Amino acid sequence: MNILLINHYAGSPALGMEYRPYYLAREWVRAGHRVQIVAADFSHVRSRQPIAGDETIDGIAYRWLKTPAYQGNGVGRVWNIWCFLSQVWRQTARLVRAFKPDAVIASSTYPMDIWVARRIARQAGARLVFEVHDLWPLSPIELSGMSPKHPFIRLCQAAEDAAYRDADVVVSMLPKVQGHMADHGLDLSKLHLVPNGITPEDWQQEAPPLRDDVARAIAAQRAVGRTVVGYAGSMGLPNALDVLLDAVSRLRDQPMAIVMVGDGHERTRLAQRVADQGLTQVTLLPPIPKAQIPAFLAQIDIAYIGWQRVPIYRFGIAPNKLMDYMMAGCAVLHSVEAGNDPVAESGCGLTVAPENPQAVADGLRQLAALPAAERLAMGGRGRAFVLTHHSYPVLAQRFIAAMQR
């Protein structure tokens, strides 16, 4: 099968997020399929930007289209989206002629890529697949307070409706979307659930050594007998890290430390808050390479992940970070209210209410009080759950099966 994957934000292990397109494509290539990824050469989620043009990474053909840089979610990002989609539109004949796709996947978080994917699929006589990361435009409406009457929201809504109407297959990472999609015209027989996952081989190799500053920070806390709670990932408002700091302020008398690695819009403010409030048991450090995540998680006692309390999570969550935590065998403190909860489903930790510092503090205290062997058993249950339900070799096969129906 020749698979054309349009994902504006696609990345790779060397470039940074988004990783899912790379990991799925790598499995498809290994299974004998040809894969062409079309992506923008600038994305706010990557750690490094590629050079515009064609490139092959681990057997996957990438085409990086030249797009303008931007910051934040304003006009600059909208212009970046327009430049990307207009170039894909103009390359339709070239892509059809050179690649001859059997399936065309629209997968860029925002839904407007369905129109260019539909044009390519129709000219190629290919299957049209719409992959849903988040529900747009509902996400910017409920998370950012955008008006349903805003022109950009109206555009997103028209695209979402077109996707559900015209796609041959709809793949969702979120598990509780059936009602919403049916309300917007989807024949649910087209819907297939393929969540986020991990690649087992990345965890079977010896992890690169942890960066010195992170290793020293953890060792220093252990030297004074503290239980180490770790966080690895983005530091933005959706990650609810203020709730974690509020909880820590309630645990000043506990032998517990927090080590956070990552970057994001809130990192500078959070670091200032730690300094201003004298939260000496909290250490914030710059992000580490993805390859070092297993080494980091192997050295902590408890992994934390939190969310805001927002209605959009009723459709489910699909966090990469949580998959890493579980694959590492960590006991997890999960602060969430959502349509699904892998921590509760697997028994790999505790789930507490979101935006509730006292609940987070109590949960951390409860996990820290457990014997290390019991936390280890929790982590083992999480790892087994991920290997069974969330490994990319399994997920890639499920995706192919959906496209071939």
Would you tell me how many other CB atoms lie within 10 Å of the CB of residue 223? 8
Distance between CA atoms of residues 37 and 286, nearest Å: 30
Per cent of the chain over pLDDT 70 is: 100
Enumerate domains of the chain plus CATH numbers. 2-197+391-404 (3.40.50.2000), 202-389 (3.40.50.2000)
Over range 296-320, report the average pLDDT: 94
Tell me the two tokens of residue 213. 């500053």
Per-residue DSSP letters for 30-75? Answer: HTT-EEEEEEES--TTBSSPPPSEEEEETTEEEEEEP-----TTSH
Q: What is the DSSP letter of 79?
A: H
pLDDT for the residue numbered 347 = 98
Helices 241-249 and 357-369: angle between axes, nearest 10 degrees = 70
Pick from 333, 379, 367: nearest CA to 352: 333
Model confidence at 114, pLDDT cuts 50, 70, 90, reads: very high
Of 86-90, 201-205, 337-341, the least confident: 201-205
pTM of the predicted model as reported, rounded to 2 decimal places: 0.88
- Could you tell me which residues come within 8 angstroms of residue 307 by beta carbon, excluding any fewer than 6 positions away? 238, 239, 240, 313, 317, 335, 336, 337, 338, 354
pLDDT for the residue numbered 394 = 93
Give the SS3 label for residue 318. Answer: coil
CA-CA-CA-CA torsion sign (38, 40, 41, 47): negative
Give the pLDDT confidence of 199-244 residue by residue, as tens digits: 898 888 887 899 999 999 999 999 999 999 999 999 998 899 999 9
Mean pLDDT of the chain: 95
Model confidence at 39, pLDDT cuts 50, 70, 90, reads: very high
- Could you tell me which residues come within 8 angstroms of residue 27 by beta carbon, excluding any fewer than 6 positions away? 392, 393, 395, 396, 397
Q: What is the DSSP letter of 129?
A: E
Task: Return the biggest CA–CA distance within the chain.
Answer: 67
Tell me the two tokens of residue 333. 């403190």
Residue type, 154: R
Model confidence at 74, pLDDT cuts 50, 70, 90, reads: confident
| pLDDT(316) > 90 | yes
pLDDT for the residue numbered 205 = 81
SS3 readout for 170-209: EEECCCCCHHHHHHCCCCHHHEEECCCCECHHHHHCCCCC
Model confidence at 47, pLDDT cuts 50, 70, 90, reads: confident
Distance between CA atoms of residues 376 and 380, nearest Å: 6
- In this structure, are residues 260 and 241 in contact, taking their beta carbons and an 8 Å threshold? yes
- In this structure, are residues 40 and 29 in contact, taking their beta carbons and an 8 Å threshold? no
Q: What angle do CA 36, 171, 48 make, to 5 degrees?
A: 45
| pLDDT(278) > 80 | yes
Give the pLDDT confidence of 117-170 residue by residue, as tens digits: 999 999 999 999 999 999 999 999 988 889 999 999 999 999 999 999 999 999
pLDDT for the residue numbered 206 = 82
